[in-house]
Each structure stands twice: as C-alpha cells, then as structure tokens.
A and B are shown apart, each in its own frame.
Chain A
Amino acid sequence: MRPTLVSRTAVIVLAALLAACNSSSSTSSSSSSSGATSGTVKIGVDLPVSGADASIGIPTQNGAVLAVEEANKNGFAGGKFKLEASLLDDAVQGKHDPNAGAQNVKTFIADDAVLAMVGPFNSNVAKAEIPLTNDAGLAQISPSNTNDGLTIGDDAKKLRTAHPDTNAYFRVCTRDQKQGQTLAQVAVQRFSWKKAFIIDDNETYGKGLADVFDAQYRQLGGTVQGHEHITANQVDFKALLTKIKSLNPDVVFFGGNTSTGGGLIRRQMADVGMAKTPYLGGDGISDDEFETQAGTMANGAYMTTAAPDAAKLPTAKTFVDAYKARFKGDVGPYSANAYTAAKIEIAAIEKAITDNGGKMPTRADVLKNIAATANFDSPIGKQGFDANGDTTNGILTLYKVQGGKKVVVDTIVVKI
C-alpha cells in the first residue's frame, strides 16, 4: 500500500467523522418583538427524542408539553398571549450529541419569541449549551442534568465566561455529588457490598458520577478494586468483564447511560459467569431501554434517579392522571421534572408580562423571575433555586429491576 494513499485515506476518514458529528436543524421563527401586547410566546424544549435515548427522552418531553398545554387551557397571561413549545431533538445517529444540542440552542436564541428553555437531558450536552444561553441571557432549566461541574466550582465558571456574574442555567434535580454519595451509602450500608469494581463511559456525566461514587465509597470503608473507562461505540466488554470476574467484586458499578454501554455490559456479564453479581448505576440506566438491551440480565440491577417516583408521590397525583389521560402511557422517570421545569418558566413569564404592564417581556425579566423561584409548589415538592442554579429540593429514588421491570426500593431525601 502506498503511503500517499494511506495519508489520503486518513484525511478522508477524519472528514467523514467530522461530517457524522455535525448535523443542523432549522425551524422557521415567527417572532413577537418585545413590547407587543399580544402574540406567541415560546418555550424551547431540547431533549434527545430519537434512538436509544428516546425511551427516556420522549416521556420527558411530554412532561414539558403537558405544562404548556395546561397553561393555554387555563388562559395563559390573561389569554392575550399564546404559549407554544418549540420541540427540538439533540440526538444524532440515535444518541445525544453536544453539537446538535448547541445548534438547537442557537435556533432558540435566534427566535425572539423563545423566552426560556427546558433541557437538555444529558450533562455533556449541557456543557455545550450553557455558554450559549449564558451569553444570550436565555434562561434554561434542565429536568435531569446531574453533573456537578455544570453549577459548581471552576468548571462551572469556565462555562459562564460571557457573563461571569449572571447565571442562566438551573436544574430541578439533585446533582451527582448527592447521587454518588447516596449510591455509595446504598452499596456499603444498605447492601454491605464491600468490594466494588467501577466502570464509566468517559463522558461528562458518567465519569463525573463514577468519580464521586469512587471517592465516597472509599470514605465509607468500601474497597475499590479498579476503575476503568470504556470507549465510544464499544460493543465487546468480555475482556474487561473477564478481568473483573477474576477480582470477584461484590458489585459492579457503572457510571454512564444505557446508550453508552450500560445495557450491553450488564448483558455480557452473563457470558463471563457473573450473572449473580449485582449491578449498580445512576439515573443514566434508569430508562426502559436498559431492560431491552440487558435482556433477562436486567434483573438484579439497581439504579437511582435524581427525581422522586412520581407515580407514588401524593403531590404528583393530579399530574400523573393528567399525563396518562393525555399521552395514554405511564410517566417516565423525568416527566414530572420536565413538567415542573416548564411550570416554573411559565409562571416566570406570566409574572414578567404582568410586571411589564401586559406587554411582551424581555428574556432578562424572565431570567430574573426564574432565579428568584422559591417554595414553588410542584408535583415533585417545593422547588427553589440556590445562587448556583441548583435545586433546593433533594430527592432520589432507588429502583431495582425485578421480573424485567423497575420497582421502587426506597425514596431517599438528601440534605442540600
């Protein structure tokens, strides 16, 4: 083979990779300029709603859609304005994609009628979006991002370089510091799993959660036998699992999503003779896709979600009934969170319209109102945000897969 052909091929392969990573979407924008006394107000919703992420993305999107529909039915802003949800998908080739998310946010920013947005679902997508919403002053509430670096510490500062003093990013779920801590407590104290092997998918969310679990697990007296990172699009985990089996851990911990390997690893544990070893993970493997991909091996897996189990919560009953009536299906683990996020934004927009004398408010007005949210009654409890944009309402749910279905083991309240 001639070297020139090799180098040419390399260039082409790179070009193809770049092309595969890029995808653009565009929507027409009908704008209502600031100051108008009627028109359309939009809430942007950016979630992964196709491919492997769809099983969790679509019920989440439905939550936001329900909130918007209810607001219109109840006479949004005195009936003068019409509220609309602008729905975009950030999955490319079946998987959440930061570039696609950033592109979607640019679409929202370019549309003057969009006053706030719900999303994204995944932490690595949030990393690409926060600098854009921070720059544009567009308020953004995520139903499900749990990575600590999005709101805390130097990582968060780097995301807010355009306006370091203002924060436009909020979330209604508990962050990974709390989730990882809870998972470590579950492993050590509840189940007495003293030896763990940790795997993560090397993404923002997965590695972040695994690192917190790693540190907390050691602190509680557990032994971490190893911590490995898998690579994107990997399908063969037999070598890794053979190695793990030889160490005979009490539990295998996975930090990541079903779509990034969480389901396949669990399935292949049977092939190397680890069918009896428990499997523990965070909210990334709490989607229904996990049971499909892991097959019968899904049984015996445990996972938390950074949300209460809406189906069991008395405060969520009205929401759950309305959701079932509207979408003819069960609520997803993050439906209530997305509903709450949209509700907070709708309330903030309504207040801004009233304060503006019934005229179309600015994004800054809406952002100010969202940041001031406190004691907001929602299906998932009293919501509020601290200075970093984190929720003041810390609830996690621990699930176990049994007979191919997730059952609630416990609801855990954490101190913020």
Chain B
Amino acid sequence: MGTIDFAPLWITLKTGIVASVFSFFIGIAFAELVINTKGRVRAFWDGLLTLPMVLPPTVAGYILLRIFSTRRPFGSFLSNSMGIQVVHTWLGCVVAATIIALPLMYRNARAAFEQIDENVIYAARTLGISEWKVFWKIRLPMAKPGIISGVTLAFARAIGEYGATSMLAGNIAGKTSTISQQIAMVIQSGDYATAGFWCIVIIAISFACLVSINMICGKSKGIKRKRKNNVAHSKNKKTVG
C-alpha cells in the first residue's frame, strides 16, 4: 500500500462542495421555473433536468466534452474571451459533478416547494409581503428539510462521480484525480490495498451524508408534521368550498 497521497481526498471534497453549491442555486432556480410552467413546457424542462440521473455518465461526459472542447464554438469562446478552461482541469471535475448531481437537488427542491400549502402563499400575498420576501422568508424556510436533503444527496453523488468526470476532466494526478478515479487507476496497477482504503473513505463519507439527512429531517419534525396538516386541510378545502 505504501504511503498514501491524500490529494485525491482534498480534490474530491473540494469538487463535492463546489458542485453542491452550484447545484443548490441552479436546482432551486430550475425548480422554481418548472413549478411556474405548465403542460408541455413543464414536461420538457422536467425531462431535461432529470435526464442526467438516468443517462450513463459517459454519455453526459461525451456531451459535456463536445460543448466545452476548445475546438468547439462555446468552449473556444470561454477559453479565448474569458480564459476559462474546462476540459482537463479541476473546473471540469466541478462541471461534470454538478451536472450529474443536479437532478437530485432539483427534484428534491421541486417536491419540497410543491408540498407547501398554497393558501400560505396566498395569505402572504394578500398581506402585501413582497414576492422576494415570500420566497426567502416563507417558501424557502418551509422547504428547508427537502432542500437540505437535496443538497446532501447532491454532495454525496458529486463526490462519487466517475464516468463524466473521467471524460471531461481526465485523471491528472494532483489536479483532477478524484478518489473514484484514483480507485480505478490503482486497481489497474493491481494495488488492491490502496483501492480498498479509498473505497472505505468514500463509503464513510457517503454513509455519513445519508445518516445526517435522517437526523436533520428528524429534528425538523415540527415542520414536516405541519405540512401533513396542511395537506389534509387543503383536501378539506376541496370538499368544502
């Protein structure tokens, strides 16, 4: 096994954190967009945003490579005009992990927003509370448990990303070599001990994430219970008025 270089751990954690921050904002923004659209447009966006969850990561990686390659219009624009290189850089890790983790964030956020009793939002509007405040002070706090589990799942997914990352960012030691890529590499050279060590690290982090989701959601029971009430009430409403 020899001495272990911990660079892959830091790269993985950094990638995971930045990717979950990105998917947090992008996921919420798209959740809002989809909630406010109807019919075919809604189905289109929902399908597109969920696609990375079901596609083979290599397919996502291929598409990202085609978009960000410096030989293609968008990639060359980024690199020439803005000095941003995505392919074979750490940024590539982040982009790949964000895209793959996004559906988890988006779907959780959407479900959390959709569960909010619409009367609460109507009440807020009739009280003259601005849309900005309605979002930040009422809807977001009410959707908090769902959003937290979305971010945590997105983080857990992002740190385990392999397929798209290896295609877009490659496996450059100390730069883009994440734990999952490291595992694949050391196994090829027959170093099962090191591979096993990294596997345990990944399992430990992912498991900790899943356990913490449960604990956080347990704590905010109050909000969850309240929501169930609201659902019951809104059902009442339909039958009564």
**Are A and B associated in one complex?**
no
Q: Which residues of A contact B (CB under 8 A)?
A: none
